[in-house]
Amino acid sequence: MEPKPIIIALAGNPNSGKTTLFNKLTGSRQRIGNWPGVTIEKKEGTVKGLNHVTVQDLPGIYSLSPYTPEEEISRNYLLNEQPDVILNIVDSSNLERNLYLTTQLLELDIPVVVALNFIDVSRRDGDKIDSRKLEKKLGCPVIETSALKGEGVDECIARCISTVKSDDKTGRADKVAAPFGEEIEKAIKEIKSAVGDVAQKRHRWTAIKAFERDEKALTGISLTALQKEMIEGIIRRIEEKLDDDSESIITTERYAAIKALTDNVIVRAERKGNLTRSDRIDRVVTHRFWAYPIFIAVMAALYYIAISLGINTQDMVDGWFGDGLIPLVQGWMEGLGASGWLTGLVTDGIIGGVGAVLSFVPQMIILFILLGIMEDIGYMARIAFILDRLFRRFGLSGKSFIPMLIGTGCSVPGIMASRTIESQRDRRMTIINTPMIPCGAKLPIIALVAGAVFGGAWWVAPLAYLLGLLAVIVSGIILKKTKMFYGDPSPFVMELPAYHVPSVGNVARSTWERSWSFIKRAGTVILLSSVVLWFLLHFAVIDGSLVMIEDEMIADSIAAKVGAVLGHLFAPLGFGG
């Protein structure tokens, strides 16, 4: 008899390590980034060795009151799809803020297991978290984990499965993990009574959402006019008494309850000046003036290393193809008696085209490794922060930089990542501007220009990147003048992740994905272009017949005839006529 299928939903704040844990559990290779918003749609996978256990990686959310498209995706899934258990990923180094979502998840009628992630970071900082006491306070299983190192991952799955199979209601909505003040609890109880049996489940959560006037959360719940009037009267009474709006009241009460909870379970290490290591680094790299020269220096160094180291490997790959493989294949085909045009097509067209693509791959790999390291360290998130100051002056939001950063590998996933931008105006501007950032497919062109025009100067590639940013700014200025894009950019709030040593696995995975994307996308175009160009250079129309010509007769080729026509068009630019 096959075991009953189990669905586990991974829920947590952005950048809490959900996708890392998802990859560990399923063996998947979903993109990981050390900045919020990497997961923009739910991903599904099966736990390794447990085919009956499915894991859903939901986009990161801060609460069950959605303000962004990805937050709405997560809440709708949790409310409508009803997973068997929620595995709540909590950043232990930011426990108080992360528990804001946890307390809301516990109000749903779904079992919850808490994964106390980044526990190694908390230990390194000297903070001590009593996970057993936290488990008792929350009323649900709590497991100390480090998804990056694989610590506690197997236990998370085991506890999720046992929680689903158990008849115990631990982790369900009937236990209040973080009770509000007496006045608010009384109001919530009155609203629950007013709602009555209309809400079939999640009674407390429904009452709280009714108190917050969250209409989307109450969709599907039919309240009479009398019930709505009673609930509104309760809300107004509390608002007048506390002189605040209902949503802010719940937020304040929830954080107060969480603080009381965390004060009992955390023993924090004493820090000099109350600044963490990341805070001290950020005082320099996000400085109002020094941030920009540091950013330019870092990007210049990345491209200099990629180009200078890549040149040697490029020459080596060219030698393998030009002096090794092509003569070998040519001799082999001639020995078989293959026709001249077929031999030329295979050696000069196909193998030559493949060689042209692969000769640039070493440069790409080096660049992608360096970008992956910068991402995993946490510096790329800082770039988004410092560029927001610059972008906002020209009508762009700092949120636009994340898609542009992803676009350094390939513009297509960069454009897709713009879905996380709430403002339609900002989203459209980002989609238009992202292709202006040099991507992997453009780097070979930059390298060719650097070698042919500037003698291989190291500064050409960094300059191309900066010119891309300049093009984005100029485009932003122009678009802002139009009616469609007129207005102020949306506010940009972003969590800056703590700096940490990059993971070899994450960097390798990121490098592989970007490199393969380059080979697959750019390689296909270059290979086809090489074959077409070979045909145009080696065939001519003579006396009304299409014939293959020798290299000495290239002036009669189709390419030469087309070039002669186009030459007149480009004569004003100095390209001949």
Identify the pLDDT of residue 192.
Answer: 84
Euclidean distance between CA atoms 72 and 61, whole angstroms: 9
The domain locations on the chain are: 6-165, 182-267, 291-524, 528-573
* Residue from 477, 286, 468 nearest 386 by CA: 286
- β-bridge partners, 143: 115
Identify the pLDDT of residue 11.
Answer: 92
**According to DSSP H, which parts of 63-199 are helical?**
69-80, 95-105, 119-124, 131-138, 153-165, 182-195
Mean pLDDT along residues 41-48: 79
Per-residue pLDDT tens over the stretch 547-558: 788 777 878 888
Q: How far is CA 557 from each of CA 365, 540, 542, 548, 560, rounded to the nearest angstrom?
A: 37, 4, 9, 9, 5
Identify the pLDDT of residue 433.
Answer: 84
Asked whether residue 35 carries a pLDDT value surpassing 50, the answer given is no
Helix axes 182-195, 203-211, angle to 10 degrees: 110
Structure tokens at 302: 């990345």
Sequence-separated (6 or more) residues with CB below 8 Å from residue 26: 45, 46, 47, 48, 55
Gyration radius (Cα) of the chain, Å: 30
Euclidean distance between CA atoms 85 and 525, whole angstroms: 46
Instruction: Return the top range by mean pLDDT from 65-69, 200-204, 427-431, 517-521.
Output: 427-431
Task: Compute how many other C-beta atoms are within 10 angstroms of the C-beta atom of residue 84.
Answer: 19
Average pLDDT, the chain: 80
Q: Model pTM?
A: 0.70
Asked whether residue 36 carries a pLDDT value surpassing 70, the answer given is no
Question: Which has more pLDDT, 133 or 339?
Answer: 133
- Cα 247–Cα 248–Cα 249 angle in degrees, nearest 5: 90
- Give helix then strand counts, H and E, for the chain: 24, 10
How far from each other are the two terminal CA atoms of the chain, in whole angstroms? 80
The upper half-sphere exposure of residue 381, i.e. CA atoms within 13 Å in the direction of its Cβ, equals 21
Per-residue pLDDT tens over the stretch 102-142: 999 998 888 999 999 988 888 877 788 888 999 998 989 99
Sequence-separated (6 or more) residues with CB below 8 Å from residue 266: 95, 127, 128, 129, 130
3-state SS assignment for residue 210: helix
CATH superfamily placement of domain 6-165: P-loop containing nucleotide triphosphate hydrolases (3.40.50.300)
Q: Computed from CA positions of residues 505, 509, 511, 512, in that sequence, does the dihedral angle turn out positive or negative?
A: positive
Helix axes 277-285, 291-319, angle to 10 degrees: 90
Per-residue pLDDT tens over the stretch 52-103: 889 998 888 888 887 766 777 888 888 888 899 999 999 988 888 899 999 9
Identify the pLDDT of residue 171.
Answer: 43
Structure tokens at 410: 């390939």
Structure tokens at 160: 């999720």
* Residue from 61, 24, 27 nearest 42 by CA: 61
Euclidean distance between CA atoms 573 and 151, whole angstroms: 63
- Cα 128–Cα 130–Cα 133 angle in degrees, nearest 5: 160
Fill in the amino acid letter for 46: T
Instruction: Return the top range by mean pLDDT from 146-150, 250-254, 296-300, 338-342.
Output: 250-254
Per-residue pLDDT tens over the stretch 430-486: 888 888 887 766 766 776 677 667 776 767 777 887 888 788 888 877 887 787 777
Burial tier of 393 (Cβ tally within 10 Å: 0-12, 13-18, 19+): exposed
Please say whether the beta carbons of 34 and 376 come within 8 A: yes
Asked whether residue 26 carries a pLDDT value surpassing 70, the answer given is yes
At residue 173 the predicted structure's pLDDT band, cuts being 50, 70 and 90, is very low
Residue that the structure tokens 């297991």 belong to: 113
3-state SS assignment for residue 490: coil
CATH of domain 182-267: 1.10.287.1770
